[in-house]
Amino acid sequence: MSARPNAVAPAASVTTAVATAVAPAPALAESDPACAAPLAVLGRDVTVPLVTGGEVTYAALDYAASAPALQRVWDDVAGYAPYYGSVHRGAGYLSQLSTDLFENSRDTVAEFLDCRPDDQVVFTRSTTDSLNLLASVIPADCQVFVFETEHHASLLPWESTHAAGRRGSDARVTYLNAPRTPAQAVRTLQRALAERAAPGQEGYGPALVCVTGASNVTGELWPVKELAAVAHAHGARIVLDAAQLVPHHPVSVQELDVDWVAFSGHKLYAPFGSGVLAGRADWLRDAEPYLAGGGASRKVARRADGGVDVDWHTTAARHEAGSPNVIGVYSIASACKALTEAGFDNLLAREQRLVAKVRGGLAEVAEVKVLSLFGDDSPSRSAGGTPTRVGVISFVVEGWNSSHFAAALSAEYGIGVRDGLFCAHPLVRTLLGGDGQDPGECGAPEAEPGERSLNAIRVSFGAGTPDEHVERFVRAVKELVREGAKWNYRTEDGRCVPVV
């Protein structure tokens, strides 16, 4: 039987209360060389069968899609689970405890992002959900500027909102061509914003720039602070898709001077179905609720004519209708604390060592081409000493269909990577020199093993990745290119799988 939280009053901090019930797990991973990683994650001891016989410890190298849960996050969630209750307005002890946890988590995320005092932190389901929420609240006739290099989560919501006839339905979307250097990205945005109508002229209105912090295809960091300065100089606002940035790099809303930040818990070692949209309150407060329902409303009354009058919340609750995902929210807060306590300086230094190890190993294989938007000769660090890449690397192998190569890595070496277009179709097609008619689909390649298809392989890692995993990956790439696959493969339901 688990111990009851040692709290005198229901309003006591849930962090303190739960900590008395379940001893927190150590933040650092064990020192076993096979598991030498800054933070312990679930699944680090899982073994998988190989088609060639035997088993091997699974090397999870698909962090950019979903990072494994931190052990710390799992333990925190397990410690809270017996005290789970309804959030807000519940009179019972567990309800008040859960409400305390939920709102404290909001404060933790705001601190993690270095938000401004009057910013709102809205909890959503994911980055995609966060950006669709923002798309639904932008003012009428807003002009949106977005680079074609964005992930679909930040590329598509603006058009979809227009098609759906929601609040932002008058938005005009301008897609910007892929820049080939960070400086070119800044110049491209500068020119596009300069072509807008000037204040007071017909056609002038609100504007929003959407940009990624780190590419989910190449891992390259974008010049967010410089882009934000350009946006604000032209009277526009900017939202940062930080899904691939926050797991690897500190993000300060105030230092970057962005208006909003969006990210997902499942990429931040908290895969429990929650996300964040944090930033300026005015557009969020002035818009209709993203979802209509309980929790978003303060007062509902029947009118004499038979209709209903609704008084909506003006806080973040305005866009959080329905019973919230308390466990998902708490897991994000737990991950934020774990990363902060581990220290981003230490995490960054180690990750850059792994990036160099992978890139160096791939560079030794003539048949491998690493994809890069800003060029292979772009510096690994900025002038200020900040890394310019995170642990996300995509590549193709001459003579191999990417799906076939990824399947062989999994079946013959126990290495999990990703193949496809990574929900960034325009970007990958640009990097591979293809067009919209070439075969290839995100996650479902159409070509048979050995046939060319417009898709790539992506390896991604982070704070839970042991050195052995990336070393095994580099060895496996070299061996597959040199000796070929040891097994036969076929396409089944759009996936390349070993013949059994």
Among candidate residues 46, 15, 40, 14, the one with its CA nearest the CA of residue 27? 40
| Other beta carbons less than 10 A from residue 463's beta carbon | 26
Secondary structure class of 291 (helix, strand, coil): coil
Amino acid at 216: N
CA-based Rg of the chain, rounded to a whole angstrom? Answer: 24
* Region at 362 (left for phi over 0; alpha for psi -120 to 50; beta for the rest): alpha
Q: What is the DSSP letter of 372?
A: -
Total length of the chain? 500
Q: What are phi and psi of 52, to 5 degrees?
A: -85, 0
Map tokens 């227009």 to a residue: 162
Angle between helices 127-137 and 157-164 (to 10 degrees): 50
* Region at 431 (left for phi over 0; alpha for psi -120 to 50; beta for the rest): alpha
- Is the alpha carbon torsion for 359, 363, 367, 371 positive or negative? positive
- Please report how many Cα atoms fall inside a 13 Å half-sphere around the Cα of residue 305, on the Cβ side: 3
Among candidate residues 43, 113, 71, 87, the one with its CA nearest the CA of residue 320? 87
- Token pair of 66 as six digits: 């979903």
Angle at 124 between CA 122 and CA 128, to 5 degrees: 120
The CA distance from 16 to 11, in Å, is: 11
Among candidate residues 346, 347, 168, 383, the one with its CA nearest the CA of residue 248? 347
Q: Find all residues with CB under 8 Å of 321, minimum gap 6, and list them.
A: 289, 290, 291, 292, 293, 294, 295, 296, 297
Are the CB atoms for 494 and 413 separated by under 8 Å?
Answer: no
The number of angstroms, rounded, from the C-alpha of 34 to the middle of its chain's C-alpha atoms is: 27
Active site residues: 423
- Token pair of 431 as six digits: 């990097």
Map tokens 């609720």 to a residue: 289
- Token pair of 180 as six digits: 């080939």
